[in-house]
Every structure is written in C-alpha cells, then in structure tokens.
A and B are shown apart, each in its own frame.
Chain A
Amino acid sequence: MGEPINCREAAERLQDFLKQELTPELEAEMQAHLERCRPCFDEARFEANFVLMLEVRARRVECPAALRARIARLLQSEMERG
C-alpha cells in the first residue's frame, strides 16, 4: 500500500471511489483514509446516500406492459421476415 493520503487527496478521489473506478491500490489508500478520518467518512457517506437514492428512484420506473407487448410483436414480424 502507498503513502497515507490527506483530506484534499481523499476529496479529489471521492467520486471515483464511489463509482468503484479506482485502481486497487488507490482504493486501499482511500479506504485507509476513510477509516481514520471521520469528516471525510461522513462526507463520503452523504454522497453515497445521494447516489443510492438516485438508483432507487430509477429502479421504480418500468417499461409499460403495452410497450413491451408492442415491441415483442414488432420483433416477431421482423424475425419472420428474416
């Protein structure tokens, strides 16, 4: 594992961390920082809750059944045409 990172570096990495786009090494450094820095941990939790909230809202919107059926019919006739 690399050098301990400071709060500014942690803030810069927060978005990538929450998106799980950090390399394993950078992620481990970030984890280590969050474990010992309460203010950064709290901020990360706030941002994570926000993103989770968006995901939950998104999941509640579903493709209408009528559209689903219309698309199935269209594809069927498209497939029959070959």
Chain B
Amino acid sequence: MAEPSTAGRQFNAEALPHLDALYRTALRLTGDPSQAEDLVQDTMLKAYRAWRQYQPGTNAKGWLLTILRNTFINDYRRRKLEPIATDLELVEPHALYRAIEDVDPEGAFFAKIVDEKVLEAIDALPPDFREVLVLSDMEGMSYGEIAEALEIPVGTVKSRLFRARRLLQSSLYAYAVETGIIPPRENHDG
C-alpha cells in the first residue's frame, strides 16, 4: 500500500476523528442505517476532494457536518423543506417543567427512558427542527456554526431549537406516562 501524501495524511488526521459524529448525524437525518452509511461515505469523499478549500485550524467537525447536511439535502432528501415547519414555528408548546416540577423537578424520568426510544422521538420531530436539535444538543455546534451550515439566520436557529426541545420533552413525557415510568399528573383542582 502506498504511503498517503502530506495532504492525505492531514485529511485523515483532521477528518477521521469525526466519523462517529458524522454517522450519528447521518442516522438522525436519514432515519435509516444503510442510507446513513452511504451518506457518510459520500460526505467523506466530497470532503477529501474539497480539502484544498478547507482552512486548516478552522472547525473541521462543523465543516464536515455542513458537507454532510448539504449532501443530504441535495441527494437524499427528495422533498423540499417541509412547509409544516413554518406553521410549527408559530406554535408555542407548553413548558414541561412547569407541569411536572412537583413530581420530578430534576427531570430524572428522562434518564429512565431507553436510548432507542429517545432516538425514535428525535427522529419523529419535523425535519427542520430535528436537524437543529441534533447539531446543537447532540453534536455541540454553536448557534453561529449551525446558522452557517443550514444557511438560516441565528434567530431561526434559536427558535427552532427552543421548539424542538419543547416538542421532544412533550413526546418523551407522553411516552413516560404511557409506560408508567412517571405517574400521570394529578388534578389539583379544589
């Protein structure tokens, strides 16, 4: 096997450590393991070919996730951005904390839900909300990095994140009540 060139070695050193993050994000975006694998592979090839445009020292993870997301939009997501998200932006979901602060003030019930169910609930979020939540809360990207990757204003990132978290909390809470992980809310009337 031939030794990789300097550029090749640099690429390997900068990009390969982010394969877990790329795969996780691909899985959440596509909702399908085999598509996720193809998406990660396509992303890495594109990234390698675009390597010269990348400025070493900048955020490699953010750069790779941006390529992944664009590849997903262009090649994997057949539909246009779901118009439903625009309507959802207007919805003000209630704060779960206020409803359950007496029973579970620390949100301990979240930790009792198995990984698979949490991931399912994330996958069920509207796509525009899901991608912001995944990039922010699962991959630790900043508002600015997400705004750049998704080509949307920072204010939109913030409001989508806010609503994504609320929607996810509500759906996890509903699941927890259904399965008896947390007792249903009592009616404190009178």
Partners in one complex: yes
Residues of A with Cβ closer than 8 Å to B? Answer: 15-16, 19, 21, 42-43, 45-47, 49-51, 53-55, 57-58, 60-64, 67-68, 70-72, 74-76, 78-80, 82
A74 touches B45 (CB 8 A): yes
Q: What total of chain B residues lie within 8 Å of the partner, measured CB to CB?
A: 48
B162 touches A61 (CB 8 A): no
Q: Enumerate chain A residues within 8 angstroms of B111, measured Cβ to Cβ.
A: 49, 53
SS class, residues of chain A in contact with chain B: helix
Q: Mark B6-31, 1 if CB is under 8 A from A, else 0.
A: 01100110001001101110010000
B48 touches A19 (CB 8 A): no
A49 vs B20: C-alpha distance when bound (angstroms): 23
Q: Pick the residue among B8, B27, B107, B139 that contacts A46 (CB under 8 A).
A: B107
Q: Pick the residue among A45, A51, A64, A80 that contacts B137 (CB under 8 A).
A: A51
A64 touches B23 (CB 8 A): yes
In chain B, residues 132-146, which have Cβ atoms closer than 8 Å to a Cβ of chain A?
133-134, 136-140, 142-143
A50 vs B23: C-alpha distance when bound (angstroms): 23
A58 vs B22: C-alpha distance when bound (angstroms): 11
